[in-house]
Amino acid sequence: MFESFPERAVVYEVGPRDGLQNEAAQIPTERKLALIAALAKAGLQRIEVTSFVSPRWIPQLADAEQVVAALPRSPEVVYSALVPNEQGLQRSIDAGLSEAAFFLSSSESHSKKNINKSVAEAVALYTKLAKKALAAGLKVRAYVSTVWGCPYEGEVPLERSVELARRMVDLGCYQVSLGDTIGVGTPVQTRAVLEGMLARLPAAQLAMHMHDTRGTALANVLVGLSMGITTFDASVGGLGGCPYAPGAAGNLATEDLVYMLQGMGIETGVDLELLVEAGQLAQEAVGRELPGKYLKAASGARQKKAVPGQT
- Enclosing H/E stretch for 193: helix 187-198
SS3 (DSSP) at 143? strand
DSSP 270-304: --HHHHHHHHHHHHHHHTS----HHHHHHHHTT--
Distances 225 to 5, 42, 206, 265 between C-alpha atoms, Å: 6, 22, 12, 12
Q: Measured from the CB atom, is 79 or 294 closer to a copy of itself?
A: 294
As measured in angstroms, the least distance from the Cβ of 75 to a copy of itself is 27
CB closer to a copy of itself, 74 vs 293: 293
First to last CA, the chain: 32
| Min CB(223)–a copy of itself separation in Å | 7
Q: In which element (H, E) is residue 36 found?
A: helix 29-41
Distance CA 251, CA 239 (A): 7
Least separation in angstroms between residue 186's CB and a copy of itself is 3
Rounded Cα gap, residues 180 and 251, in angstroms: 9
Note whether 175 and 199 are within 8 A (CB): no
Q: Which is nearer to a copy of itself, 71 or 261 (CB)?
A: 261
Q: How far is the CB of 45 from a copy of itself (least distance, A)?
A: 19
Q: Is 102 helix (H, G, I), strand (E, B) or coil?
A: strand
Quick one: 165 or 253, whose CB is closer to a copy of itself? 253
* Cα radius of gyration rounded to whole Å, the chain: 18
What are residue 177's DSSP bridge partners? 143, 207
Amino acid identity, position 203: A
Cβ proximity to a copy of itself, 21 vs 231, nearer residue? 21
The CB-of-73 to a copy of itself minimum distance in angstroms stands at 25
Which CB atom, from 99 or from 256, has the smaller least distance to a copy of itself?
A: 256
Catalytic residue among 35, 242, 270, 295: 242
* 3-state class (DSSP) for residue 267: strand
Q: Are 290 and 238 in contact (CB under 8 A)?
A: yes
> Any catalytic annotation for residue 150?
no
Name every residue whose Cβ is closer than 8 Å to that of residue 1 and which is 6 or more positions away in sequence: 226, 227
CB of 302 to a copy of itself, least distance (A): 8
Annotated catalytic residues are 242
